[in-house]
A = this chain, B = another copy of it.
Amino acid sequence: MKPLQRFGLVVITASALASLAAVKPASLPPETVRTATELRNRIAAGSRAAEWVRDITDLAGPRMPGSPGDRAAVAVTVSMLKAQGFSNVRAEKVVVPVWERGVETGEVLSPVRQSLVLTALGGSIGTPSGGLEGEIVRFASLEELALAGSSVRGKIAFIDRPTARTSDGSGYSSAGDVRGRGPSAAARHGAIGLLIRSIGTDADRFPHTGGMRYEPDVPKIPAAALAAPDAALLTRLLARGPVRVKFTLGCRTLADGESANVIGDIPGRETPKEIVLLGAHLDSWDLGTGALDDAAGCGIVVEAARQISQLPKRPRRTIRVVLFANEEHGLKGGKAYAEAHAAELADHVAAMEADLGQGPPLGFSWNAGRSAEAMLKAIAGLLAPIGADALVEYDVGGADLIYLLPSGIPSLGLSLDATDYFDYHHTANDNYDRIDPKILDQSTAAAATLAYVLAEIPTPLERIPPEKRVLPSWAR
């Protein structure tokens, strides 16, 4: 629990829950406990997880869907899985949207001239090639923008909402709407463009990109994120009077391209048709090399599965690693997997995703039938020695797993300490140097322990009840 205490959080541990709640941990077979404990300890003492992250980031680089780096990452990880002895290694085609960034410039024109560091939001239209110029109107939130009336008509909206630093990513979740819905919200009030303070927790001069979606019934306007210091500059200058800015975005959407979900199996010894899926996403934004988002998750799940494959006695069921295409830009990989494997989904007994950086691990989120709780508490107990025994009920274990929801597959998310994650997330500063192999080892140990037990226990977890299998509106 050290990482949690370090940040002063109040977390209900599995043991505290057990004493409070009616549900007691299930009892696991002694051999399962022994093997899981040895597996956890071995990985926590040192693993190759960081090596896989390094290979993805160094050999493929940035991995925007459909880009050369994305294709390189598919080749690199197919080779990696084959070399590490995975079975049925394949790259399953996924059609992806292709968006390219192009030139990006920004400046304050008056009351003084200053350069602005900004980057287009993913999916934004470009500006005219000579740039977009206008007076800015500041809003502290989307709620304030909703009350804009005609104040922003013909001008550039500027939403200056900070992102709270939290260990569970909740600060990002609550700020993220500014990016996702801001452009159309601003256009609805007649704005000609949108600048937002980056959704991120740092104060560095890196803008944070990330996805946005235009609503169909309003004009599309160019939208970009300012680095935090540049947003702060605009706010200080506005205290002196009107501020005019100009920015140029060369971004554009091209024809759809091709990418792939990279898949490899560690076949189960008894019921290989039954699958525990371990997922992460292989694509990244283009500004950095996406070491934390989400090469780290790829490293965690590849290494967790590889370590399980080295056990003297493999688990009952198959462990399947899926490195999803195109999480960042529309979840096409997750959707393609659900479609291509529709016939197998009834045999998927659980799916876990790692997509919140490197850790340290805090525990896991879960969504399954109610009777699963006792077993998950037992697994949490096995993770207590590495501080990863926090259990949280949540709707889905990771964005790539959303299309598995209608099948009722128990959905697990590796909870990783995200206190610093949003300092780097979606910026040029997300690179291999951010990786601490020792921390990644702890997260890998947690993922492997969870996966091993789920693949070994006699009876799979109870599936998500039918009434909870409804896709959220954003995924439909």
Contact = CB atoms under 8 A, between A and B. Distances in A.
Interface residues of A, number: 32
26 contacts: A54-B236, A58-B112, A58-B114, A58-B233, A58-B236, A58-B237, A59-B112, A61-B112, A61-B113, A61-B114, A114-B289, A117-B428, A203-B433, A203-B434, A204-B206, A204-B429, A205-B206, A205-B427, A205-B429, A205-B431, A229-B429, A229-B431, A229-B432, A232-B432, A233-B432, A236-B432
A228 interface: yes
A72 interface: yes
B428 A72 contact: no
Interface in A41-79: 54, 58-62, 68, 72
A288 interface: yes
Which of A206, A232, A427, A431 has the largest number of chain B CB atoms within 10 A? A431
Contacts of A289: 114
Interface in A6-64: 54, 58-62
Contacts of A114: 58, 61, 289
Contacts of A203: 433-434
Q: How many copies does the complex hold?
A: 2
B229 A433 contact: yes
A429 B59 CA distance: 28
A72 B204 CA distance: 25
A113 B114 CA distance: 33
A427 B204 CA distance: 11
A428 B114 CA distance: 13
Contacts of A228: 433
Which of A72, A204, A428 has the largest number of chain B CB atoms within 10 A? A204
Contacts of A434: 203
A86 B429 CA distance: 44
Interface in A413-454: 427-429, 431-434
A345 B229 CA distance: 42
Interface of A: 54, 58-62, 68, 72, 112-115, 117, 203-206, 228-229, 232-233, 236-237, 288-289, 427-429, 431-434
A267 B175 CA distance: 54
A433 B434 CA distance: 23
Contacts of A115: 61-62
6 closest A-B pairs by beta carbon, nearest first, are A229-B433, A229-B431, A61-B114, A205-B429, A205-B428, A203-B433
Contacts of A60: 112
A113 B72 CA distance: 10
A252 to B, nearest CB: 20
A245 to B, nearest CB: 14
A299 to B, nearest CB: 15
Nearest to A236: B58
Nearest to A59: B112
Contacts of A113: 61, 68
Which of A115, A203, A233, A433 has the largest number of chain B CB atoms within 10 A? A433
Nearest to A202: B204
Contacts of A432: 229, 232-233, 236
Nearest to A286: B115
Nearest to A204: B429
Nearest to A430: B205
A14 to B, nearest CB: 35
A430 to B, nearest CB: 9
Contacts of A58: 112, 114, 233, 236-237
Contacts of A72: 112
Nearest to A206: B205
Contacts of A236: 54, 58, 432
Contacts of A206: 204-205
A81 to B, nearest CB: 19
Nearest to A232: B433
A225 to B, nearest CB: 16
Nearest to A291: B229
Contacts of A112: 58-61, 72
A72 B114 CA distance: 12
Contacts of A62: 115
A74 to B, nearest CB: 14
A260 to B, nearest CB: 19
A113 B56 CA distance: 13
